[in-house]
Structure 1
């Protein structure tokens, strides 16, 4: 499998040399913003830079934990049950870690998540964390919208220490993510996401740009400098935006971001969705090039996927045009709420075509060498 992937990559690099395709990220071999990043984290980031030139890794939230009609069955995955292989990126949720709960806000035991992360790492998949954590001031959920929380938890705020305790719990959890030799497992950490919207307590109407940036910078500085977590690739993930200024208004700076992306969900209008994706991608690619960051579609989906050709006729034509390290579809919870096909679902046949497209990478085209040697 390693040799197969090397051949694929060698072909894409040769094609770039022949056609003049941009290889800006690859040529510069950008290092993680954490100067003390572990060797495995550096290698993963370097290999993602190479893959992004011509490939897109497919990902799925909570893929190994549960799916439509099942939960916690070892080895099971809705993606594997339909495409025949596991996804290449796995999203996990940390909400309720701050509450000392044994389970996250979706009911997944944190001990299970630790096991899943180790399993994914062993076979060369990539782990990503989001964290919908409760408001440290009011105790309300992430979906509350007060207008003073961020101001109160940044340095100098009267609830700053409450937020620091949250970060201490995150660090304690992250320190359990170790490989067989005791090495820290690299993960993508995507905090305070969808900040261009206004549905979380860190949203654009809930705090000023300066407050948001202060929150982001303190969080990353504390985790890497005080808690000595050097296995994090930091993801900056917006919601809707129409112009570059909106995307960068709360950007915390190049020293605090490794991966940049956005979340996009389709409602009913495929033409509008594709047009919006195109616009946001054009901005994202420009920003990624100018700031030397790896671009990604950090969340995407069409709930219940009623269009049987959505994967190859709506999503693929757009993502294959732009540099995209990975696309992460949201979770499969129940028959009323899922974003990847499961056996018998209307888009299964099209999803198999999506998997077979040469632009797309699932787990079968990745191996643990993504963490140990240059591809």
Structure 2
């Protein structure tokens, strides 16, 4: 695409955004000044939707489910509701090791196909990355000290980390739509950083080193590898105050979406209280920094409460501005987070799906990447 054509397209984009969303006119562009046109439209549409709607998402939805693997067109969510989810999560773990499959056994070639399929019908893709420690080669769940310091610029293993990013850039460059356009992706690096179970956790590195790593990662992908179809998500684990949440925040020029991961592990009252506390902080930060809020991971393993979707999750995510909510994967009968036919919460999930505030794939269209979506 010529430079002049890009300028024209961006001008048209701005005109449409200003007309459709005057309240958000000052904050309609993503943090990457060179973001592709499709990425800008997705960003603007997520800003719009978050005001009144919540898009439902599911990790690895098309790749496998309870009792099946790699069956074309199949989805546990679709089997229950008749619609695919609107957001689809994929993980890049093992890409850095040149493995053919990710850490959940999904071939990377299949992920590319799924991403294209999702994009073509107007769905949204998001990537997490449980990647190995570049210093020790231990898994993401290892907790060595000083890995982050060793892989930021000037560190002894900086080049090893750069090679990881090079591989990610090669993968990301293969995500092209039918006209050769780059497919926008929400990239969620170093997630749950306020916890201490990954090598990039809050006890494994200083806030300064974490921020340096984040900024280098984004700058390298944008400026060196020329990757401009990513929306960057800052995704915390637990936090009690705004200070806790922002301690490792890399700055508005490096973030588009802010969120947190929260799973129900005790009783519903405890979970609801926790969500309310974190959401109140998130909504304040989102407003002040003009970022898109999301519940970037959630779920209740095995979903034993048959009314969990409408009695617990729905009230929480619709009380606050939430662009999307992503439930974790359906791995096997002992480990799943979305219902499948015959599961105890199946009927309640259908009610959740039917709520007018909730968006599944059947309410999203490919035009989410080319024009402004109106609620």
- Normalised TM-score (structure 2): 0.93
| 2:170 equivalent to 1:172 | yes
Summarize the alignment of residues 90-129 of structure 1 with structure 2, pairs less than 5 Å apart. 90-129=88-127
| 2:253 equivalent to 1:285 | no
Summarize the alignment of residues 224-243 of structure 1 with structure 2, pairs less than 5 Å apart. 224-243=222-241
| Aligned-partner Cα distance in 2 for 1:38–1:175 | 13
| Aligned-partner Cα distance in 2 for 1:34–1:151 | 25
| Aligned-partner Cα distance in 2 for 1:373–1:254 | 25
Deviation at 1:268, TM superposition (A): 2.7
Deviation at 1:111, TM superposition (A): 0.2
Equivalent position of 1:352 in the other structure:
350
| Aligned-partner Cα distance in 1 for 2:25–2:50 | 12
Name which of 231, 244, 247 aligns with 1:246: 244
| 2:179 equivalent to 1:181 | yes
Deviation at 1:125, TM superposition (A): 0.1
Deviation at 1:27, TM superposition (A): 4.4
Equivalent position of 1:263 in the other structure:
261
Equivalent position of 2:15 in the other structure:
none
Deviation at 1:24, TM superposition (A): 8.9
Number of positions where the alignment pairs a residue of Structure 1 with one of Structure 2: 353
Find runs of 4+ consecutive structure 1 residues off by over 4 angstroms.
none
- Normalised TM-score (structure 1): 0.93
Equivalent position of 1:20 in the other structure:
none
| Aligned-partner Cα distance in 2 for 1:74–1:25 | 42
Deviation at 1:28, TM superposition (A): 3.3
| Aligned-partner Cα distance in 2 for 1:278–1:291 | 20
| Aligned-partner Cα distance in 2 for 1:142–1:128 | 19
Q: 1:118 is paired with a residue of what secondary structure?
A: helix
Instruction: Judge conservation of contact 2:27–2:290 (CA < 8 Å) in 1.
Output: no
| Aligned-partner Cα distance in 1 for 2:320–2:32 | 27
Change (3 A) 1:50 1:347: same
Deviation at 1:176, TM superposition (A): 0.4
CA offset digits 1:297-342 (Å, max 9, x no partner): 0000000000000000000011111000000000000011100000
Equivalent position of 2:273 in the other structure:
275
Equivalent position of 2:142 in the other structure:
144
Change (3 A) 1:24 1:132: farther
Q: 2:89 is paired with a residue of what secondary structure?
A: strand
| Aligned-partner Cα distance in 1 for 2:267–2:333 | 21
CA offset digits 1:11-45 (Å, max 9, x no partner): xxxxxxxxxxxx89734342011000000000111
| 2:189 equivalent to 1:191 | yes
Q: 2:47 is paired with a residue of what secondary structure?
A: helix
| Aligned-partner Cα distance in 1 for 2:276–2:149 | 35
Name which of 78, 83, 86 aligns with 1:85: 83
| Aligned-partner Cα distance in 2 for 1:71–1:304 | 19
Instruction: Judge conservation of contact 1:30–1:292 (CA < 8 Å) in 2.
Output: no
Instruction: Judge conservation of contact 1:89–1:328 (CA < 8 Å) in 2.
Output: yes
Instruction: Judge conservation of contact 1:194–1:238 (CA < 8 Å) in 2.
Output: yes
Equivalent position of 2:332 in the other structure:
334
CA offset digits 1:136-170 (Å, max 9, x no partner): 00000000001110000000000000000000000
Instruction: Judge conservation of contact 2:86–2:124 (CA < 8 Å) in 1.
Output: yes
Name which of 62, 65, 85 aligns with 2:63: 65
| Aligned-partner Cα distance in 1 for 2:23–2:70 | 39
Equivalent position of 2:41 in the other structure:
43
Instruction: Judge conservation of contact 2:305–2:344 (CA < 8 Å) in 1.
Output: yes
CA RMSD of aligned residues (A): 0.9
Please, which runs of 5 or more residues in structure 1 have no aligned partner? 1-22
Instruction: Judge conservation of contact 2:132–2:139 (CA < 8 Å) in 1.
Output: yes
Summarize the alignment of residues 197-236 of structure 1 with structure 2, pairs less than 5 Å apart. 197-236=195-234
